[in-house]
Amino acid sequence: MKISVAGTGYVGLVAGVCFAEKGHDVTCVDVDENKVKMMEAGITPIYEEGLQELMQKNNAAGRLHYTTDYQSAYKDAEAIFIGVGTPEQPDGSANLSYIATVSRQIAESVERDCLVVVKSTVPVGTNDKVEQFINDFLVRNVKVEVASNPEFLAQGSAVHDTLHAARIIIGTESREAEAILKKIYEPFELPIISVNRRSAEMIKYACNDFLALKISYMNDIANLCELVGADIDAVAEGMSYDARIGSKFLNAGIGYGGSCFPKDTKALKYIAHQHGYTLRTVEAAVDVNAEQKTRLYQKANNRMITFQNLRVAVLGLAFKAGTDDLREAPSLDNVALLLENGADIYAYDPIAMDNFKKVYPEGKSMNGSIHYVDDPAKALKDAAICFIFTEWEEIKSIPPEDFEKLMRIPLVYDGRNVFNVKEMKDAGIEYYSIGR
C-alpha cells in the first residue's frame, strides 16, 4: 500500500521504516532538509537499536523515501500517518499545533480518497476534531476519514516493539477505515484490537499512566523500605510471582523520564480537570515522581558540607539505557542542582553526551563547570562523589573495587540500584541506593 508518514521522530520514523519492512511503499515527510538528506544517506537522526540497519535495507530496496515536499507525498497516498510531536504545555495540556499544521497540509494536498491515521498521543476527542478540520479545509472533492492508531513502543526497543507488538490498537468510525488499517497491518501478523476512536485514544493514556503509577508506587514503597529496614529488591521479587501484579516495572529508582510517561500523566490529569474530575491516583504518581528525581541529591547534600569546587562524577545522562533521549531525564534536574551549587562535574554516557552538550556546553556553567569524558574511569578519577543516573551496561560492568581505587572519596549514590549493596560495602565504598 502507498503510505506517507508525517514526522520522523521516534513515532513517525520507526513506523515508516517498519511499514516499509513489511512491504509497503513509504514516504517519510519532515520539514528539516538536513534531516531528510541524512535519512536518504541511511543515517538515522535518532539512536534506536536496529533502526539504521532496517532503514538502509529498505532504502536500498526502494520501499522507503524521504522528502520535505508534503504536497507530493500526500496527494496520492492511500493512507497518511501523523506521527508529529504533541509536547507538553505549561498547564500540562498537549500542544496540538503540529497536528493542526499537518492536517491543514493534508487537506490542501490530497487528490484521492484516503485514510488519515493519527499515531501521535492526543487527548480524547482529538481525532474527531482532526477529521472535521481536514474536511473544513479540503480543496478537492475527495473523501478523507480519520482513524486512531496509538503507538506503544518503548525507547531503546522501539523497532522490536513495533514489529512484535503485543497487539495493534485501531480506532475507527467506519467499516471502510477499519478494513484499510487491517490491510496495512496484515503483514505484521499481530492481534488487532478494533475499537472506536475515543476508546483508542483513551487506551493509550490509560496504559502509559498505569505503568507510571506502577513505577511511582514502587518508588514510594522503596522510600518506606529505607525507613523500616526492608530491602526493595526482595520486596519486588516477592511481588513479581503474583500473576495479578506481574514482574515488569517493579524496579525502584529515581523516577521515570522520557517522552511519554511525564507528558501523558500530566495530560490525562489536565483532561480530567477539564471535565470536573480529579484523577487522584495519577496526580499522586506525578507528585511522587517529581520528588523522587532529586532524592539522592538531597541525601548527598545532607552528607556533604558543600559541593563548591567538589569534583563530581556523573555516570549516565539518558533517561534510560538504550536511547540518547534526555526528555525528563533525572540527570537534568540533578546536574542543574550540582552546577548551581558549584560542583565540578565529569560526565559520562555512551550515547547521550552529544545531546547533553546542547543543554550544558562543556566548560563553566552557572556556579560550577561540566566536562565530558569517553570512559567511566575518567569520570571517577579523583572524584569526591559519584552519581549514577542511567543503567548502561558500560556502567553496570564497573568492578566495585574500581570506585575505591579511582575515587578520592569512594562515595557513590546509585539511582538505578545497579550494584550489590554487600559487594560495594566489602569493597570499602560508602554506597547509597534506593530502598536498600
Active site residues: 260
Alpha helices per DSSP H over 275-397:
280-292, 295-303, 330-340, 353-359, 376-380, 393-396
CA angle 210, 216, 222 (to 5 degrees): 140
Collapse the DSSP code of 152 into the 3-class scheme (helix H, G, I; strand E, B; otherwise coil) and give the result: coil
Q: How many helices (H) and strands (E) does the chain have?
A: 19, 15
Instruction: Bin 229: left if φ > 0, else alpha if -120 < ψ < 50, else beta.
Output: left
Cell output for 329: 531525564
Instruction: Say which amino acid occupies 58.
Output: N
Taking the alpha carbons of 192, 194, 197, 202 in that order, is the dihedral positive or negative? negative
Give the number of other CB atoms < 10 A from CB of residue 122.
22
What is the H or E stretch that residue 2 is in? strand 2-6
Query: What are the cell numbers at 222?
Result: 522503596
Judge contact between 10 and 28, C-beta under 8 A.
no
- With both helix axes pointing from N to C terminus, report the angle between 10-21 and 51-60 in degrees, rounded to the nearest 10: 50
